[in-house]
Structure 1
Amino acid sequence: MDSLNGFMVFVQVAETRSFVAAGRLLGISASAVGKSVARLEEKLRVRLFHRSTRSVTLTAEGSLFLERSRRILAEIEAAELELSQASCAPRGRLRVSLPLVSSLVLPVLGEFMAAYPAIELDLDFSDRLVDVIEEGFDAVVRTGEPQDSRLSARRLGTFELMLVASPSYLQHCGTPQTPADLLDHTCLRYRYPNSGKLETWPLNLPVGEPDLQLPTSMICNNIETRLCFALQGRGIACLPEFSVNGALAAGHLIRVLPEQARRTNVFNILWPSSKHASPKVRALVDFLGSRVFPADT
């Protein structure tokens, strides 16, 4: 910063040909201007001005240095302008980690691209628990309550987990009437990619009763596979409502144990905590917050 101030003082003296006038424009004394020029000359080991009681003129070396100094200050001014504009207009690369729920977010992200063409989306779809800061993500969308104190969060909305099966499966295998009946059915299960554990189904069991050891007829780590197999009549699946609403409305799937198997979960968008979030992150947070679950906002 001292060098930068020296450049500014030097250019001002060169343009006004006066220590007094330069000091007046910079808001410092003529003595301070003189000391700044002297320090710069000492650092460069060259004389920049010819001084007399009547005038201040550039030396040959000073004229050369003035040209370079103006270029440097112009570059700094351009950089400041660019950063100032960036702080107002969302732009640049935006690296986002999202869960494997393309049907929920892809239409909204398409709208986001249209609304913010200067933002370059770099999307990573995964259900694993990523380290937002260590892995360099600008934001992540995940289910459940935030656990990392280093992150800011905004709730995007809530959804319900439910058990579903096709009419053909229920006609062939029967419709469960209690959670215990699931022990005799084909269950399409989900495995968490981080822990390797199977998802616990949202069953309302009597207090003190242990979790049911449900059959594991098929295990996978995404929604699409379980939904596809459920539609084909291969078994009962536990799925989020937004992934099955269309199939339920069309009669391709039927809810199983609607009063005994239900749980509400939440989607959040998380980003590294900062006093001033970047415009591109703010734009994404606000956009997803108003469109992913519009009924919740």
Structure 2
Amino acid sequence: MDRFDTMRVFVRVVERGSFSRAAEDLRLPASTVTDAVKRLEARLKVRLLERTTRLVRVTLDGEAYYQRCLSILADVEEADSAFTDAKPKGLLRVGVQGTQARRVIVPRLRQFFDAYPDLELFLSESDRFVDLVREGIDCVLRAGEPKESDLSARRVALLREVTVASPDYLSRHGMPTRWDALQGHRMIGFRSSATGGILPLEFMVDGQRRTVTLPMTLSVDGADTYRAAALHGHGLIQVPYYAVQRDLAEGALCEVLADTPPSPTPVHILYPRNRQLSLRVRVFIDWVVKAYDAAAEAAGP
């Protein structure tokens, strides 16, 4: 194992807080990872990590060395990728919301792997906040405006949103005609993973965002359950158009208040601010922008 490989091992151990998790990420025997760090400490003649039975914690010297390793490894990767024939390879770990993965990303992955045959992709499905560094995730796709100040963000898509309800619900409560005349209607509450609060319905009226909170008997915190509850007639919901496009085409759901739709939802890709953007992440960002564009084109106006 050369010095650069040893640096990569050390960086992964620091970020994962575990020899075993670092070994799993790097696909190395745990003993190899442990021995590499021991040899590194012996060569530098300094303790880089404090080890307990449950935790691996970086020392002050280790933190300083970790930061230098990040800079050096980023420079090496940047130098390698400067050549036109450089090809991304290895494992790329991406956090993604499940519905977006199933509707936008997975159906188009064959083109991605055709273009980058030496890449392997791990999709980690979750709506919760993800500590990218500690959980070993390279980047994460999130809907809405990013709030994590320690992450860099690039917008990759702007999703059209619609207000929908089932025919059964509309037969019982009537077809809404105005956003500000929804007496007698109900909504299905969606709880924000960031705040835990119920998100109001929102409507764009003459370029202004208006919000309404209706009575509800059901609230959820999962996108698939949100859609399922609407299909079973529990109330109005607001979702990206791609998520209910088939339901609308088949008549299982109906769009309402189309002249005052919700504002579009931005999708950003987030990655650690203190890292050079790797070639693996760069090619994924470029590809995922095209994937969302293709999904929007398929959805139509």
Alignment TM-score > 0.5, same fold: yes
Superposed CA deviations along residues 270-295 of structure 1, whole A, max 9, x for unmatched, are 22246742221112111101122237
The amino acid across from 1:202 in the alignment is: E
Partner residue in 2 for 1:94: 92
Cα separation, 2, equivalents of 1:187 and 1:141: 27
Partner residue in 2 for 1:214: 214
Identity percentage of aligned residues: 32
Cα separation, 1, equivalents of 2:154 and 2:294: 14
Q: Secondary structure at the match of 2:132?
A: coil
Partner residue in 2 for 1:234: 234
Per-residue deviation, 1:133? 3.3
Per-residue deviation, 1:140? 0.7
Partner residue in 2 for 1:263: 263
Return closer, same or farther for 1:115/1:278 CA change in 2, 3 Å cut-off: same
Which of these two proteins has the greater Rg computed from alpha carbons? Answer: 1
Count of paired positions: 216
Cα separation, 1, equivalents of 2:169 and 2:131: 41
Return closer, same or farther for 1:247/1:125 CA change in 2, 3 Å cut-off: same
Which consecutive unaligned segments of at least 5 residues does structure 1 have?
A: 1-79
Per-residue deviation, 1:171? 1.9
Per-residue deviation, 1:252? 2.5
Superposed CA deviations along residues 67-115 of structure 1, whole A, max 9, x for unmatched, are xxxxxxxxxxxxx9xx959982211121111113222322134542444
Cα separation, 2, equivalents of 1:85 and 1:262: 41
Q: Secondary structure at the match of 1:112?
A: helix
TM norm structure 2: 0.61
Q: Is the CA contact 1:108–1:288 (under 8 Å) kept in the aligned structure 2? A: no
Report 1:66-105 matches (<5 A): 84=80, 88-101=86-99, 102-105=102-105
Of 262-271 and 211-220, deviating more is: 211-220
The amino acid across from 1:142 in the alignment is: R
Cα separation, 1, equivalents of 2:295 and 2:124: 26
Q: Secondary structure at the match of 1:203?
A: strand
The amino acid across from 2:250 in the alignment is: A
Return closer, same or farther for 1:152/1:211 CA change in 2, 3 Å cut-off: closer
The amino acid across from 2:234 in the alignment is: R
Cα separation, 2, equivalents of 1:151 and 1:215: 37
TM norm structure 1: 0.62
Partner residue in 2 for 1:248: 248
Return closer, same or farther for 1:92/1:257 CA change in 2, 3 Å cut-off: same
Return closer, same or farther for 1:205/1:234 CA change in 2, 3 Å cut-off: same
Q: Is the CA contact 1:132–1:272 (under 8 Å) kept in the aligned structure 2? A: yes
CA RMSD between the two structures: 3.4
Q: Is the CA contact 1:151–1:270 (under 8 Å) kept in the aligned structure 2? A: yes
Of 193-202 and 176-185, deviating more is: 176-185
Q: Is the CA contact 2:81–2:279 (under 8 Å) kept in the aligned structure 1? A: no
Per-residue deviation, 1:233? 2.9
Which consecutive unaligned segments of at least 5 residues does structure 2 have?
A: 1-75
Q: Is the CA contact 2:88–2:280 (under 8 Å) kept in the aligned structure 1? A: yes
Report 1:60-209 matches (<5 A): 84=80, 88-101=86-99, 102-204=102-204
